[in-house]
Amino acid sequence: ASDGYELFVIVAEHPAVDGQTEAAYFAGEQLARLGVPSTAKGTTVDVSGQFSLGAEGLDPAVPATIRVGLATLTSDEGRRDNRVREALQVSQHPTATFTAERIEGWSGIADGESVVATLVGTLELRGVQRQVSWELEAVRQGNVISALATTSFLYEDFGIPLLNIGGVVSVEEDVTLQVQLIAEAAG
């Protein structure tokens, strides 16, 4: 990391923080057997990456990346998981990668502080790259930052076909992604 910046590496978990690093999707659907709208959730703990932060935001000298392995995304329904893997073309594109370009509303994060900001960058999914903004809530405890980042987009933005699973009446056209991450200072 450059002067004035700290390098953070994403870790699976840390004793100072409840929970673990994980990525999730939330997709609205209506199941024929229920007759009412519900939300499907799929998660994976296959999340890695690093970023370098300072009072001004991201260190331009260090790429800020978050990678999510898509092959291990699982929900409460095996058929849905298979359709999600097909729709995301996981065999050709096993990883979704977000490369952050800037943080808006960031003025640094001191020990014990929490910050709300917007993370802007490029998401690559299914070989398609699009600029997306994530709402970010971060808390610092010593040398550990825990953060929750949330974004939503239309399936068609990334060329993802609407899922068609036996028993599903309809699927909403947008999806929400969340990444809960724990990152430790590398220094």
pTM of the model: 0.91
Average pLDDT rounded to a whole number, residues 118-143: 97
Is the CB of residue 163 less than 8 Å from the CB of residue 83?
Answer: yes
Across the strands, what pairs with 133?
120
Residue 50 exposed, middle or buried by CB count within 10 Å (0-12, 13-18, 19+): middle
- Cα(47)–Cα(43) distance, integer angstroms: 10
Average pLDDT rounded to a whole number, residues 19-26: 94
Is the CB of residue 104 less than 8 Å from the CB of residue 121?
Answer: no
Residue type, 35: G
Q: Give me the percent of the chain exceeding a pLDDT of 90.
A: 73
Q: What are the structural domain ranges in the chain?
A: 6-185
* Mean pLDDT across the chain: 92
Average pLDDT rounded to a whole number, residues 91-104: 97
pLDDT of residue 105: 93
Across the strands, what pairs with 48?
67
Q: Where are the alpha helices (DSSP H) in 114-179?
A: none
- Cα(49)–Cα(71) distance, integer angstroms: 17
pLDDT of residue 79: 87
- Cα(147)–Cα(63) distance, integer angstroms: 18
Residue 186 CA to its chain's centroid (Å): 21
CA neighbours closer than 13 Å in the CB half-sphere of residue 138: 27
Tokens of residue 165, six digits: 């699973």
pLDDT of residue 167: 63
CA R_g for the chain: 17
Residue 32 has pLDDT above 90, yes or no: no
Residue 1 has pLDDT above 70, yes or no: no
CATH topology of domain 6-185: Lipocalin (2.40.128)
Residue 49 or residue 17, greater confidence: 49
**Beta carbons within 10 angstroms of residue 92's beta carbon:** 8
116: helix, strand or coil: strand
pLDDT single digits (tens) 102-120: 999 998 899 999 999 999 9
Average pLDDT rounded to a whole number, residues 154-159: 96
pLDDT of residue 132: 98
pLDDT of residue 171: 81
Is the CB of residue 135 less than 8 Å from the CB of residue 118?
Answer: yes
Average pLDDT rounded to a whole number, residues 72-100: 95
pLDDT of residue 169: 64
pLDDT single digits (tens) 36-57: 888 999 999 999 999 999 988 9
